[in-house]
Structure 1
Amino acid sequence: MSKKNSESDSANGVRLDKWLWAARFYKTRGLAKDAIEGGKVDYNGAKGKPSRMVELGALIGLRQGYDDKVVEVLGLNDQRRPATEAQALYQETPESIAARERKAADRKANNGALVSEHRPSKKERRQIHRFKSDVFSGESL
């Protein structure tokens, strides 16, 4: 792609999959496209499409692992640049940061409660095996 085409694309907008890739949310454009088509990305509250043109000031919601983020578009670029330049393309909303930190604290608190302090006794082991056989036998039918 020539430099002239790249500049005209940025003036008119950039495809959503290309912008997510350039902003380094996903390692490849293919992964960005799959995430969009899988419903993990929305654009201004509506379902996103890979070919949708991103505009300045738009809110993009995306899910990465356990984290849900809402970012505001501050810049457009269709080329993958260093991370410091990519971070200048967006800003995460304060509500999104607070919600993400709250969920992370909840996950951390719940994981501590799920860890057992001892090995299961013979009776507990039988209950675990019974539970697993009931769950898995129901799925295979």
Structure 2
Amino acid sequence: MRVDKYLWCVRYYKSRNLATEACKKNQVQVNGQVAKASREVYPGDRIQFRKDQIQYQISVLDLPPNRVGAKLTDIYRKDDTPAEAFAHLEMLKLSKEHYRKTGVGRPTKKDRRDLDELTNDAWDDEDTDE
């Protein structure tokens, strides 16, 4: 079975087109080698791919005949993704919401001054490294 079709069948991507695009962007590896969308996968293969800032690692247990329901995906794959990857994504989400909540509106003058001060400090730090 093609790797793009397999990733679509076990519900990592919503469409085959998205899975194919991920392969074209070199985000999918099979057994440690970058894979094209047409690469065949077999039971026992290890697939690594990047999606939503998480580096997934899965093992192919069996090949599904067609797209399977969400509850049946564990029959065909074993997810070896480390828990730290999901914790890192959660921290990224929290850090984005820490300063301002989404939909609050435009920054106030004080918010703007704080942002300018923060960016100026970042630029000053880069100048001193050289």
With normalisation by structure 2, the TM-score equals 0.71
Secondary structure, aligned partner of 1:121:
helix
1:109 deviates by 5.5
Name the residue aligned to 1:97: 82
Instruction: Give the AA of the match of 1:99.
Output: E
Q: Name which of 110, 119, 122 aligns with 1:121.
A: 110
Q: Name which of 80, 83, 90 aligns with 2:67.
A: 80
Secondary structure, aligned partner of 1:20:
helix
Secondary structure, aligned partner of 1:39:
coil
Name the residue aligned to 2:36: 49
The share of aligned pairs that are identical, in percent, is 25
Give the Cα separation in 1 of the matches to 2:74 and 2:35: 21
The structure whose Rg is larger is 1
Secondary structure, aligned partner of 1:55:
coil
1:41 deviates by 1.2
Secondary structure, aligned partner of 2:82:
helix
Give the Cα separation in 2 of the matches to 1:123 and 1:55: 55
Deviations, residues 58-77 of structure 1 (Å, cap 9, x unaligned): 11111111222101111112
Name the residue aligned to 2:4: 17
**Structure 2 gap segments, 5+ residues each:** 102-106, 121-130
As a proportion of its length, which structure holds more helix?
1
Secondary structure, aligned partner of 1:35:
helix
With normalisation by structure 1, the TM-score equals 0.66
Aligned length: 114
Give the Cα separation in 1 of the matches to 2:69 and 2:115: 54
